[in-house]
């Protein structure tokens, strides 16, 4: 296992404002010492620029293996775009292929995420916030939509597992999201707090099942959703009941649990309130994405260094990162195109 840091890092992952790290921002990160960073399109110009930014971010913490995340799902959620990076298909395309042949869909999913990992590892990014293990539920808000592999738990679990394996073999950690399941939401948690009325039994055999089958993965991201049958007062992110009874016990996830973005309007209160509530509920790390300095200072003021279980999970996740296996990119691209029968956008 990788040797532990001299002191536990802050239980927070931060975004940064732009394409280069300013002196003031660098000083803030050095003082705060967050567990990691997350990149968005505003931080991206070219491969050399992204590599330099990541080196500066890690240097600000003094930890060369600090987690650096990105949401590179494919489809409409992709922070790295052409011409420098491949436009990957949305998860729903692989779900459509699964309707014809689950074995071919599994292979295609693996090839796709192995290609994604090839792009990310070359930049120094070691975490990709995928797979989305939420089910695609008819009539639900389209915030999930084609980001999901499908409507049934088995397809989502099988393809989600292939996605994780492709990333890990390429030297990048997956994040299973949005635990314990966002698919039934009738609202977009970026803008308001969704509530799910389904009973516990229905959730257990459907929404929760893909997460249960991939509970061995090193990282997971919470859903900002109220599950009325479990905790009608608090969303999963700030609910000790959902985190303790469902995520940790029923699903069996013992990896590093991060919040979804604290900036999302599903959560109320100040950023210090949101941070304290999420950590008190059992999240290991809070995620703040937009690079707003005032908000990050509130988060840092309310966060604490990783506690003993969180540090154990963090170190275990870091130790999971491995050097990429040998990989023929051109052969993978050709095989993936063949599996989709020449469909565009592969």
- Distance from C-alpha of 282 to C-alpha of 270, rounded to nearest angstrom: 19
CATH numbers and ranges of domains, the chain = 10-325+333-339 (3.20.20.300)
Rounded to whole angstroms, the Cα distance separating 196 from 134 reads: 13
Q: Does residue 260 have an active-site annotation?
A: yes
Q: Which of 154, 190, 199, 249 is catalytic?
A: 190
Q: What is the pLDDT along the chain (346 residues), one digit of tens a residue?
A: 445 556 899 999 999 999 999 999 999 999 999 999 999 999 999 999 999 999 999 999 999 989 999 999 999 999 999 999 999 999 999 999 999 999 999 999 999 999 999 999 999 999 999 999 999 988 777 778 899 999 999 999 999 999 999 999 999 999 999 999 988 876 666 766 888 999 999 999 999 999 999 999 999 999 999 999 999 999 999 999 999 999 999 999 999 999 999 998 779 899 999 999 999 999 999 999 999 999 999 999 999 999 999 999 999 999 999 999 899 999 999 999 999 985 544 5
C-beta of residue 109 within 8 angstroms of C-beta of residue 304:
no
How many Å apart are CA 28 and CA 105, to the nearest integer? Answer: 45
The model's pTM is 0.94
The total number of residues shown for the chain amounts to 346
**Catalytic, out of 118, 231, 260, 284:** 260
* Residue 272 half-sphere exposure toward CB, CA atoms < 13 A: 5
Sign for the pseudo-dihedral over CA of 112, 117, 122, 124: positive
Active site residue 190: yes
């Amino acid at each position: 296992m990788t040797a532990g840091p001299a002191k536990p890092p802050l239980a927070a992952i931060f975004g940064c404002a732009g394409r280069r790290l300013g002196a003031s921002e660098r000083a803030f990160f050095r003082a705060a010492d967050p567990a990691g960073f997350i990149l968005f399109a505003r931080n991206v110009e070219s491969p050399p620029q992204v590599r330099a930014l990541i080196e500066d971010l890690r240097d600000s913490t003094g930890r060369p293996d600090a987690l650096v995340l990105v949401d590179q799902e494919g489809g409409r959620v992709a922070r790295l775009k052409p011409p420098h990076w491949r436009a990957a298909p949305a998860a729903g395309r692989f779900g459509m292929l699964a309707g014809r042949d689950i074995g071919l869909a599994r292979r295609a999913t693996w090839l796709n995420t192995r290609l994604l990992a090839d792009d990310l590892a070359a930049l120094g990014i070691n975490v990709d916030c995928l797979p989305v293990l939420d089910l695609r539920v008819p009539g639900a808000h389209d915030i999930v939509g084609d980001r999901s592999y499908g409507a049934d738990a088995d397809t989502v679990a099988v393809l989600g597992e292939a996605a994780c394996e492709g990333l890990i073999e390429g030297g990048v950690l997956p994040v299973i999201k949005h635990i314990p399941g966002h698919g039934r939401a009738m609202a977009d948690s970026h803008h308001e707090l969704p509530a799910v009325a389904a009973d516990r039994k229905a959730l257990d055999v459907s929404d929760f099942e893909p997460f249960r089958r991939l509970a061995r993965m090193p990282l997971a991201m919470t859903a900002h959703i109220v599950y009325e049958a479990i905790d009608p007062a608090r969303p999963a992110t700030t609910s000790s009941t959902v985190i303790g009874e469902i995520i940790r016990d029923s699903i069996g996830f013992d990896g590093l649990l991060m919040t979804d973005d604290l900036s999302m309007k599903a959560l109320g209160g100040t950023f210090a309130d949101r941070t304290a509530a999420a950590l008190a509920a059992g999240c290991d790390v809070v995620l703040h994405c937009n690079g707003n300095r005032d908000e990050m200072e509130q988060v840092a003021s309310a966060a604490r260094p990783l506690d003993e279980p969180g540090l154990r999970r963090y170190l275990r996740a870091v130790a999971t990162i491995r050097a990429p296996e040998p990989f023929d990119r051109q052969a993978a691209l050709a095989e993936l195109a063949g599996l989709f029968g020449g469909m565009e956008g592969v």
